[in-house]
Amino acid sequence: MNLFRPEGNYRMIAFIIVLLIIGLIAGAVARLLVPGRDPIGILGTILLGVAGSFVGGFLSTLIEYHTLSVNSFHATGIIWSIVGAIVLLVILRLTRLEPGRSRRRRRI
């Protein structure tokens, strides 16, 4: 087994690019569906979507197969990625870990 095969490197790079694109799409749709202001920027949107993809994958496997193991790639992956990103965005808002959400009171 050769670890330095060019085909394997291209596949890994292609996987990372697809993961980032899906993350951007899922994060953007989640931010559009959940009302409110989200000052997290494009990098935060991508990270929200990528993390939401993992959460959504585990949720879909838990609902479909009643287990926490990852079985395979699903055609409904983008839908579950959006669901996972929405769940993470709501958790961020509830725990107030989202940057820019704290408000200072004005003193009179």
* Tokens, residue 101: 């959400």
| pLDDT number for residue 5 | 64
| pLDDT number for residue 37 | 82
pTM of the predicted model, to two decimals? 0.74
* Residue ranges of the chain with per-residue pLDDT less than 50: 1, 101
Residues 21, 58: Cα–Cα separation, whole Å: 20
| pLDDT number for residue 96 | 74
* Tokens, residue 86: 């929405």
| pLDDT number for residue 52 | 92
Residue 107 CB burial class (10 angstroms; 0-12, 13-18, ≥19):
exposed
Residues whose CB is less than 8 angstroms from the CB of residue 25 and which lie 6 or more positions away in sequence, other chains included: 49, 78, 81
Residues 108, 77: Cα–Cα separation, whole Å: 52
Closest to 40 (Cα-Cα) out of 77, 85, 79: 85
